[in-house]
Structure 1
């Protein structure tokens, strides 16, 4: 065995390869860093786990925090017994990004899609409508927000996740949006920062 005194990418990869060569399965490791006297947990992708309290006064109906800089979505259920962290795609530029508080007002399993008027101006070649299915840009599920045209939805194009690639919405892998869809309800509060 080896001693792991400081976890960083190089040490993790070296240690994991050592374990793999020796035939020992490497567990998923989490990192803890000290920031101002407070321990902060990171998963191996370096997404930070967050506490809901600095962002919401309560978690009534559940709470979603979308960090557009880190490109990650945090979810807490109403009684705070469940916390989920999902990588996302975020809007391509600041002009398409809307920040602030909203909520889920509608949930659709198998959504259809129509481009917004501004999308049609930017991309006149796009179709006017795409029904549910494998070609739909909203993926398998969509959470409609109280802001017109804004959604948290799946995507068929998994290359978009982790990038500034959307026209204003927040995109998740289809398996992640299906899970989040089951956990949320109309009235779930949402904050985009």
Structure 2
């Protein structure tokens, strides 16, 4: 009887160990996907030289595939990566080159006509504050109605959840806002 119990226990423990090893999610292991090395958070490491000729005042790459914002300062000594929300659909995603033309602490929000068509319950205007979808800080791009901004709704970060903008946690947009001068070049991919 002792041998039977020992054998069952051994089998159960061994089986559980094997199952755990086999079932370890791929996201926990670094892996090569489409030739790009991805880490546990699924961010793809970017090099500014792959996107810009020079750093100028600084550079930002908004990677909609990995849902990350990459920042480099003007001399390349400061590189930071932030998790972000991205547009809900490809139709709402504008890609290409732009730059930061204005920055605002405590932004107000006016939904676009397309946003109002998709959701008629949206207000015509929202002042700065805890209910404002632009969060605490916003950086405006040369493209009208496209911004890099904060959000009070932290569930949106890491998801396809915006109407075209790139969203960051409020603490992270505050940090990026302080680092980023007007004129910083931006590429959305």
TM-score scaled by length of structure 1: 0.79
Say if 2:134 is the partner of 1:117: no
Residue aligning to 1:27: none
Determine which of 83, 88, 113 is the counterpart of 1:92.
88
Residue aligning to 1:57: 53
Say if 2:141 is the partner of 1:166: no
Structure 1 runs of 4+ aligned residues shifted over 2 Å read 30-33
- Check the 8 A contact 2:42/2:66 in 1, yes or no: no
As a proportion of its length, which structure holds more helix? 2
1:109-140 deviation line (CA, Å, top 9, x unaligned)? 11010101111111111111111110000000
Residue aligning to 2:72: 76
Give, in angstroms, the shift of residue 43 of structure 1: 4.4
The answer for unaligned runs of 5 or more in structure 2 is: 1-22
In terms of Rg, which structure is larger?
A: 2
Aligned pairs for 1:101-140 (under 5 A) are 101-140=97-136
Question: For the structure 1 residues 122 and 75, does the alpha-carbon distance in structure 2 shift closer, same or farther, using more than 3 Å as the test?
Answer: same
Determine which of 128, 152, 155 is the counterpart of 1:156.
152
Determine which of 179, 182, 188 is the counterpart of 2:184.
188
Matches of 2:176 and 2:133, distance apart in 1: 18
Aligned length: 168
1:153-173 deviation line (CA, Å, top 9, x unaligned)? 000111111111000100000
TM-score scaled by length of structure 2: 0.81
